[in-house]
Each structure stands twice: as structure tokens, then as C-alpha cells.
Amino acid sequence: MDGSYSRKRTAEAQQEGEHSAKRLNVTVGMETLDCPICYNPLEPPIFQCSVGHFICSSCRGKQLDKKCPSCCIKTSFKRYFGMEHVVQSATVPCSNAKYGCAVKVAYYHKEEHEKACPNTPCFCPESGCGFAGTTMALLDHLTNQHKCPSTTLPDSAFSADSGTVNLCLQPGLHLLRCGRSVTSYFFLFSMASEPFGHAISVVCVQPNVTKPKSCNMKYECSTIGYCEISSCQIRSSSLSDGLPTGYDLILPKGKVSDDRNGIRLRTTIIQPLSFSLVTSCLQGKGLTPTLQEQPFAARGIPDDSDSDPDDE
């Protein structure tokens, strides 16, 4: 009895190995796994007409005359369990495999996965440079290849809802790293010398759009008694189309002191609070939560209007 059972298990294991080998070697044209009507990837439930033409559940619901769109025969659509098994078994690699993603997903989940894939590439904004890579790879590329200056936002900024740093900006790009605890994005400041003055913009470099972050920038020149403050939402971008157009802060010509070391800018990055955290905090105070952004002062950010960046 034991010998018979052992031989049976050996045969089953051999068959499983053969099935695995077949699974690895089979190739299918992707159009076979798409609905022939809407061309979207097929996913359960899948239906077929009496002749055998398959159709997705969405398109089936639109056939009010009960006719098959492929053969025009009046029919009753029934579940196509065989095709459902095929599409569930068909796994494909992520398009970002060359950037380090090792995930394989069902074909009909491919687009959904890639919308949130952390290995989606970001692109170098420098003219004539075709580099593309993960967020951290791009950060290293800009630092080492293009010698872009950088500043690090402390990790403590991400345990609270905001963090403040002083930046010394020169015309060109300046990187604001997010500390060791955050590797999915970084901030890129760009300063251009325009006829009307210095134009500064900021973008959050990351492959996927998330909750918007905010930025409070302050420039102060004690020499001529000039102060400029700007508050803005930080746009997210993979930089596939280059640097975003538009500016977040403009320092007019004649209002900036001549500083060879760059323009000193006091910058506060404000992290978005989760709605559950906002709800908890406000309910504890007997208030009704809203989805609107709160003013800086209401969110516990110190008023630094009397402080001098040079004191840092």
C-alpha cells in the first residue's frame, strides 16, 4: 500500500512539473484575451453566445435585443467558464520589468497594477538627456551626473505634518530629498532668471499622482526691507513631459540682494493628513471634519514671520 501511494504521489508531482513547464512556455496573442466588442481585457464573468462567440459582462449588458454582436444571431448568453479559466491563468510581466519590477499579474489586472507600480520610471528634465529610471535612480542621476545641489528634509518632518528647511537656490535645479524614511518621491525646485526677475517653481517627482502636498515659501531681504511669501499646492509629475510650466514664486527684479551664494528661501513642506486622522482630531474637539485644506496656522505650523532665515 505504501509503495503504491508513493508511486502515485511521484506521478502527480511529475504531472505538476509538466503542467508548470507548459504554463511557462505557452504564448498567446493578447488580442485573444480582449473582448472583441470593446477591446478591453476580458475578466470574469465572461459570456458566450450559442455559437461560441465570447463577450465581456459589460458589453453583454448592452445587448438589449439579445443578439450576438459578432454573428447577429439572437441568442441567450451563458457563462463561459472555460475562457474565464484561461484569462485567470494568463499572467504577464509588468511593463516596468526593465526598471526593476518583478511582479507578474493577470492580464486583465496589468493596467491597474501599472497605474500604481512603484517602479514606473521618472525622466531626467535636463535638455538632451534621455535617462529614465525609478525615483531614487533619477535622484542619484541628477546628483552624480548633472551635479545638482541637494538639501535633505529631516525624517522628523514625516512623523508630523510639516517640515521646514532653508534652501540656497542658484539658477537651475535644486533637489530636496525626503530623508531615509521616504524613497517614493523627492521635490525638485527650479529657478530661472527672467527679464522680470527670479521665477521659482517646485514639483514633486514621483511616478504616480497621490494626495497633493503643499508648500509655503518665504524670501526675506533685510538689506532693502523686502519680503515675499507664496503658498501653493505641489504638482506631482514623472517629468515625462519635462518640467511643468508656470511659477510658484516670483521675486521681482531689483528686490533681490546680490548674493553670489544664491537666494535663501525658507521652505515648509506640508504633508497631507489622512481623512481618518483629520476626523479623529476634529471629533475629539467636537468639530465636524471637512475635506478642505486648513490654513497654515490652523494646522499647527509656527508663524515665522518675525524670524530671519539667517538665524538658522
- Match 466588442 to its residue by C-alpha cell: 37
Round to the nearest angstrom and report the end-to-end CA distance of the chain: 82
The pLDDT of residue 298 is 35
Q: Does position 278 have pLDDT exceeding 60, yes or no?
A: no
Better-predicted residue by pLDDT, 275 or 144: 144
User: In this structure, what CATH number is given to the domain that contains residue 202?
Assistant: 2.60.210.10
Q: Is residue 243 part of a domain?
A: yes
Q: What is the pLDDT at residue 11?
A: 58
pLDDT confidence band for 312 (50 / 70 / 90): very low
Q: What is the pLDDT of residue 125?
A: 93
Is it true that the peptide bond before 45 is cis, omega within 30 degrees of 0?
A: yes
pLDDT in tens, 169-226: 999 999 999 877 677 899 999 999 888 888 999 999 998 877 778 899 999 887 777 8
For 264-274, the pLDDT digits (tens) are: 889 999 887 64
Query: Any idea which of 13-22, 36-45, 50-59, 282-291 has the lowest mean pLDDT?
Result: 282-291
248-265: string of b/e by CB count within 10 Å (b at 16+)? bbbbeeebbeeeeeebbb
Express each pLDDT in 147-156 by its tens digit: 999 999 877 6
195 plus 227 within the same structural domain? yes
Mean pLDDT of the region 219-248: 87
**Looking at the 3D structure of the chain, how many domains does it have?**
2
**C-alpha–C-alpha distance, residues 284 and 288, integer Å:** 10
Please report which residue ranges of the chain form alpha helices under DSSP H: 2-25, 57-61, 81-89, 110-116, 135-144, 275-284
Percent of the chain with pLDDT over 90: 31
| Ordered alpha helix ranges (H), 242-285 | 275-284
CB of 184 closer than 8 Å to CB of 135: yes
CB 185 within 8 A of CB 158: no
Q: Is the pLDDT of residue 9 over 60?
A: no
28 vs 85, residue with greater confidence: 85
**239 located within any domain:** yes
**Which residue, among 195, 301, 198, 185, has the nearest Cα to 248 in the 3D structure?**
198
Query: Distance between CA 151 and CA 35 in Å, rounded?
Result: 50
Q: Within this chain, do residues 99 and 146 fall inside the same structural domain, yes or no?
A: no
Q: State whether 115 and 126 are in the same domain.
A: no
Per-residue pLDDT at 262:
82
3-state DSSP assignment of residue 29: coil
Residue 222's pLDDT is: 76
Q: Within this chain, do residues 114 and 134 fall inside the same structural domain, yes or no?
A: no
More confident site: 303 or 236: 236
- Residues 144 and 247 reside in one and the same domain: yes
The confidence score (pLDDT) of residue 183 equals 76
pLDDT of residue 217: 92
In a domain, 129, yes or no: yes
Q: What is the mean pLDDT of the chain?
A: 78
Range with top average pLDDT, 126-140, 218-232, 281-295: 126-140
By three-state DSSP, how is residue 103 classified? coil
**Is 218 among the domain residues?**
yes
- Is residue 110 domain-shared with residue 168, that is, in the same domain? no
pLDDT at position 289: 40
Q: What is the structure's pLDDT at 44? A: 92
The predicted pLDDT at position 272 comes to 75
Contact yes or no for 206/115 (Cβ under 8 A) = no
CA atoms within 13 A on the CB side of 285: 8
User: Residue 111: is its pLDDT beyond 50?
Assistant: yes
Helices of type H across 26-130 = 57-61, 81-89, 110-116
Residue ranges making up the domain that contains 244: 122-270
Residues 242 and 164 in one domain: yes
Reply yes or no on whether the pLDDT at 6 is more than 70: no
Q: What is the pTM of this model?
A: 0.68
* pLDDT at residue 24 tops 70: no
139 and 150 together in one domain? yes
Q: Please tell me whether residues 147 and 263 are part of one structural domain.
A: yes
User: For residue 240, is it within any domain?
Assistant: yes
Please indicate, yes or no, if residue 302 is contained in any of the structural domains. no
